[in-house]
Amino acid sequence: MPDMALVLGHTSITTSAEAHDLWFRAKVLEALETLNTAPTNPQADVMAQARAIIAQKRRA
């Protein structure tokens, strides 16, 4: 595999596919670990609340 820095013309980016893969996997794992695990609201409930707010505003 060619040197990515040479291919892209940059010297500040990762220079090997292996190093990039390790960096990318670490970022994915970090994102997965920080996911918001709070309970979510079903879309139908959110839409019903939005429709109620809109209807209330129209009556005002």
- Report yes or no: 24 and 16 within 8 Å, Cβ to Cβ: no
Residue 4 neighbours by CB distance under 10 Å: 15
Based on the structure, what is the number of domains in the chain? 1
* pLDDT at site 48: 97
Give which of 24, 14, 22 is closest to 3, Cα–Cα: 14
Q: Which residues contact 17 (CB under 8 A, 6 or more apart)?
A: 1, 4
Length reported for the chain: 60
pTM, two decimal places: 0.41
Residue 9: pLDDT band (50, 70, 90) is low
Domain of residue 17 covers: 4-59
- pLDDT score of 16: 87
CA distance 57 to 60: 5
Q: Provide mean pLDDT across the span 29-54.
A: 91
